[in-house]
Structure 1
Amino acid sequence: MTKFLLAVHVLAAIVAVGPVTVAASMFPPVARRALAAPDDPGATGTLQLLHRICRVYAVVGVVVPVFGFATASEMGVLGSAWLIVSVALTALAALVLAALVLPGQTAFVEGGGTVRQTARLAMFTGMFNLLWATVTILMIVRPGSTTGA
C-alpha cells in the first residue's frame, strides 16, 4: 500500500503542481507584453488561459498533501523533522499562491496591473517556485530519515 500511495502522491505532485509552476512563471512576461500592446487580443487571451490554469490546478493540487499525509502515515514518519518542515513549506507555498500570486494575476486579467506589479508578481511566483523546489528536495533527500533514501 505504501508504494501505491507514494506513486499517487508523486504523480499528483507532477500533474497538479507542475502546471501551476509553469503557468505562473509564464504569466509575468506575458503581462508585460500585454501592457506594451494593450490592443493585442492574443496577449489578453493568453493571460486569461494562464490564470485559469493556475486557479484550476491550485485546487487540484490539494490532493498532493492528502496523499502525502497518507503515505507518511503508512510509512510511520509523521513526526520526522524533514516531513514537518516539508508540510510547513507546502503550507507557505499554498499561502503565497492563494494570497499573492493568484490575486496579482486576477488584477491583470481584469484589466488592471502595471509594469511594477509584474515585477512583484514575478517575485511572488519565484518565491512559490522556490518553496516547491525546496519541498521536492526535502522529499527526496529526507535528512535524518531512517527509512532510507
Structure 2
Amino acid sequence: MNGDHPAVRTKDPHPAMTKLLLSLHVLAALMAVGPVAVAASMFPAAVRRAHAEGPDAAGRATVRVLHRVCRVYGAVAIAVPVFGFATADRMGVLGSAWLVTSIALTGVAAVLLVLLILPAQDDLVDLLDGDTGALERSRTARLAMLTGVFNLLWAAVTVLMIVRPGSTTGA
C-alpha cells in the first residue's frame, strides 16, 4: 500500500502499540478531563452556597476541593494530547481534517481553562476566604457559562474522535 496518500494507510507493523497508545489516550481523557468537567460545573453553585452559609460553613472546604480537582486534573490532562498525538502518528492520521479540528478545539478548551476558568475560580476562592461581603451572582453565572463552553468543546472533540469524518476505517 502507498503511505503517501492520506486516504491510503500503510499496515501498522505494531498494532499492539497503537492499541496501547489509544487506550492510554482514552483513559487519560476519562480520568483527567472528566473530573475537571464535573468539578468545574459544580464550582459556581458551590461558591454561591458557601457564601450564603457564612464563613464557618463546611461549604468552603467543598469549594476548595473542587478548585483543587480542576487545577490538579487540569494539569494531568496534558497526557490526553500527548497520547493523542502519539496515537495519531502511529495511525497515520495527523493531517486528517477531523483530527486537526479536534486539536484546535482542545487548544481552545485548554486556553479557556487556564486563562479564564481557573483564574475566576481563584478569585472566588479568595473572595470566600476574605469574606469581603456581597457576592455578585454575575460572577458565578459567567463562570458557569465559561464552564459550559469548556464542556461543549470537549463534547465536540469526543464526537469527532468517534465519528471521524472521512475515515477509511468504516466507523
Band of TM-score, shorter chain: over 0.9
Aligned with 1:2 (options 18, 29, 51): 18
In the other structure, the counterpart of 2:114 is 98
Where structure 1 has 5 or more consecutive residues not aligned to the other structure, the ranges are: none
Give SS of 1:99's match. helix
In the other structure, the counterpart of 2:141 is 119
Task: State whether structure 2 residue 67 is matched by structure 1 residue 51.
Answer: yes
- Report the aligned-residue RMSD: 1.1
8 A Cα contact 1:9 1:67, kept in partner? yes
Task: Give 1:100 shift.
Answer: 1.0
CA-to-aligned-CA distance 1:70-118 (integer Å, 9 cap, x gap): 0000000000000000000000000111111101111111126532100
The 5-angstrom pairing of residues 9-28 of structure 1 reads 9-28=25-44
Provide the rounded CA distance (Å) in 1 between the counterparts of 2:124 and 2:37.
18
Task: State whether structure 2 residue 91 is matched by structure 1 residue 69.
Answer: no
Task: State whether structure 2 residue 168 is matched by structure 1 residue 146.
Answer: yes
Where structure 2 has 5 or more consecutive residues not aligned to the other structure, the ranges are: 1-16, 129-134
Provide the rounded CA distance (Å) in 1 between the counterparts of 2:102 and 2:137.
33
Tell me whether 110-119 or 81-90 shows the greater mean CA deviation. Answer: 110-119
Higher helix proportion: 1
Percent of paired sites with the same residue: 63
Task: Give 1:41 shift.
Answer: 2.6
8 A Cα contact 1:19 1:53, kept in partner? yes
Report the TM-score, using the length of structure 1 for normalisation: 0.96
Report the TM-score, using the length of structure 2 for normalisation: 0.84
Question: Where has structure 1 moved over 4 Å in runs of 4 or more?
Answer: none
